[in-house]
Amino acid sequence: MSVEGQRFFYPGAVATPSQVLSLAEEYRQAAHALLPTGRRGQPLSRAPYRLVAIHSLELHLNALLLATGHPMAKVRGLQHDFATRTELTKAAGLRLRTRTTLHLRGLSETREYLITRYDPGLSAASQLNRLAATLEEVAEKVAIIVKRIEVSR
């Protein structure tokens, strides 16, 4: 990409899968820290947790895609498409529970990333316990696979 002869590169364009996994883990820890700040009966108070948890999920799946040879440009081009990410990571060997797979696909169908960022009513947001369970399962399983791939290289 260039503007008047200057070249611009995407941040993270040369990040390794383990670096992306480390970033995903930082966001996961941040999500854990934000969860208790939510207030009962006030869905907006849970929005920061949701956004950080969803971003962590996306980064975990990205780390696996990168580790299994998908180019960064293709991964970045997926934007916030969890359905496609889920299918690609499934083909790369990620085995998730059925409910987790359905939830990841649902994140795309309901456009939860955008809802979390912009909808004050959080009209189609996931249940908090479902989001937390999905994050934990994906994080644990992706970390095992990415570390196994990195060691075998």
User: What's the number of CA atoms in the CB half-sphere (13 Å) around residue 33?
Assistant: 7
Task: Break the chain into its structural domains and give their ranges.
Answer: 16-152
65 burial (CB, 10 Å; 0-12 / 13-18 / 19+) is buried
Mean of the per-residue pLDDT values of the chain: 90
Distance CA 97, CA 128 (A): 17
Q: How many residues does the chain have?
A: 153
Q: Which CATH architecture has domain 16-152?
A: Up-down Bundle (1.20)
Give this prediction's pTM.
0.90
pLDDT value at position 1?
47
Between residues 47 and 12, the one the model is more confident about = 47
